[in-house]
């Protein structure tokens, strides 16, 4: 996936492209979390996710076709793609949404975005990727940012342990799914891979919606429709294409660390939309987060 492009680009060009994608990803994903409560206010988590992934998958594959991409994927890759889809798109989407219902949106985002820590451990243990000194310091800074953001929320976690557990399950599922895709070296564009994974994930989530969903057909309010449409088009479509493009050009552990800024944006959005806390602790977490990104993505280009 994007392997040829990454192989021919210079390290500086690769980092610049990764940084542009990271900005898109951070804004797309960070803006999502305060909207989750609105998206599931009238419909079930399963119904919401079924609609959003189907919408996103159709849009992404349609856009890929308009750009002249072939939508075909070799048969030998489908088992790997389906397995990765379960861990990331199904497990992450459902578990993270339930976590955001049980916890304030900003805190749920923080738990979900412990993913870089699990990703680094898995890529080291499974892929044998070397954790250099710069990356270790970056991971430590990212972990510090996450811990700082968790400090004001320990009471919320204690009151809703299921939310904490689901957030961790979501993060680990995301890390495993990304690792499976990275190891597969699937030679298709990020657009095509993302679109098919979105549509594949619609099948089990639709089954979940049928069994566990709303049970009746009705037209939700325009607020719910707008929130679901935004989440389907922006974070699910644009955000996931950006994510798999990043995974295609960076090592798994660096790609994972690149998302540590997302919970910062989620916290800011939560403060604006829901009045969630934003003070010295959150600002210190932001400093650690951006220092980690500068260390592993920006600073090396200066050599």
Q: Cα dihedral sign for 123, 125, 131, 136?
A: positive
Average pLDDT value over all residues in the chain? 81
- Whether 23 and 294 have beta carbons less than 8 Å apart is answered as no
Residue 16 lies in a domain: no
pLDDT exceeds cutoff 50 at 11: yes
More confident residue, 138 or 202: 202
**What pLDDT does residue 66 have?**
94
Q: Is 31 helix (H, G, I), strand (E, B) or coil?
A: coil
Domain presence at residue 2 = no
Q: What is the pLDDT of residue 302?
A: 44
More confident site: 152 or 69: 69
pLDDT in tens, 121-137: 787 777 777 777 777 88
Percentage of the chain modeled with pLDDT above 90: 30
Check: CB of residue 269 under 8 Å from CB of residue 122.
no
Q: Is the pLDDT of residue 30 over 90?
A: no
Q: How far apart are CA 289 and CA 285, in angstroms?
A: 6
Per-residue pLDDT, 182:
81
Q: Which long-range contacts link 231-235 to residues 24+ away (Cβ below 8 Å)?
A: 231/32, 231/35, 231/36, 231/39, 231/48, 231/52, 232/51, 232/52, 232/53, 232/54, 232/55, 232/56, 232/59, 233/55, 233/56, 233/59, 234/28, 234/31, 234/32, 235/28, 235/29, 235/31, 235/32
Q: Residue 129: give the domain boundaries.
A: 22-302
Is 59 contained in some domain?
Answer: yes
User: Is 9 inside any structural domain?
Assistant: no
Q: What's the domain count of the chain? A: 1
Mean pLDDT computed over 33-54: 88
What integer pLDDT is reported at residue 2 of this predicted model?
A: 52
Which has more confidence, 41 or 109?
41
As a whole number, mean pLDDT of residues 260-274 equals 72
Residue 225 falls inside a structural domain = yes
* Average pLDDT over every residue of 107-122: 77
Answer whether residue 17 is part of any domain: no
Instruction: Label residue 60 by pLDDT band (50, 70, 90).
Output: very high
Do the beta carbons of residue 278 and residue 152 sit within 8 Å? no
Q: Please indicate, yes or no, if residue 40 is contained in any of the structural domains.
A: yes
Q: Give the percent of the chain with pLDDT over 70.
A: 83
Higher per-residue confidence, 104 vs 165: 165
Res. 219 pLDDT band, cuts 50 70 90: confident
- Residue 11 inside a domain? The answer is no
Phi-psi sector, 128: left (phi>0), alpha (psi -120 to 50), beta: left
| Overall pTM > 0.85 | no
Query: Could you tell me the pLDDT band of residue 4, with boundaries at 50, 70 and 90?
Result: very low
Q: Model confidence at 202, in pLDDT bands (50, 70, 90)?
A: very high
- Per-residue confidence (pLDDT) for residue 87, from 0 to 100: 95
pLDDT tens, residue by residue, 222-233: 888 999 999 999
| Better pLDDT: 112 or 266 | 112
């Amino acid at each position: 996936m994007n392997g040829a492009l990454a192989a021919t680009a210079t390290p500086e060009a690769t980092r610049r492209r990764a940084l542009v994608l990271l900005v898109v990803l951070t804004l797309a994903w960070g803006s999502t979390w305060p909207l989750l409560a609105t998206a599931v206010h009238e419909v079930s988590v399963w119904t919401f996710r079924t609609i959003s992934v189907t919408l996103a998958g159709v849009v992404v594959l349609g856009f890929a076709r308009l750009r002249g991409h072939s939508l075909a994927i070799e048969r030998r890759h489908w088992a790997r793609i389906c397995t990765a889809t379960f861990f990331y798109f199904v497990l992450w989407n459902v578990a993270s949404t339930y976590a955001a219902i049980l916890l304030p949106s900003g805190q749920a985002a923080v738990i979900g975005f412990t993913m870089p820590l699990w990703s680094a451990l898995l890529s080291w243990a499974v892929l044998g990727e070397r954790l250099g000194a710069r990356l270790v310091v970056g991971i430590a800074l990212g972990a510090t940012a996450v811990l700082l953001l968790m400090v004001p929320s320990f009471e919320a976690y204690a009151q809703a342990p299921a939310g904490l557990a689901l957030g961790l399950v979501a993060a680990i599922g995301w890390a495993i799914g990304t690792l499976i895709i990275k190891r597969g070296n699937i030679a298709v564009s990020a657009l095509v891979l993302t679109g098919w994974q979105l549509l594949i994930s619609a099948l089990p989530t639709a089954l979940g919606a049928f069994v566990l969903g709303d049970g009746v057909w009705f037209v939700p309010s325009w607020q719910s429709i707008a929130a679901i449409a935004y989440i389907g088009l922006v974070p699910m479509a644009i955000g996931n294409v950006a994510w798999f493009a990043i995974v295609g050009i960076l090592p798994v552990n660096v790609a994972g660390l690149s998302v540590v800024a997302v919970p910062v944006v989620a916290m800011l959005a939560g403060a604006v939309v829901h009045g969630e806390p934003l003070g010295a602790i959150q600002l210190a977490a932001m400093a650690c987060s951006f220092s980690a990104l500068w260390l592993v993505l920006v600073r090396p280009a200066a050599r």
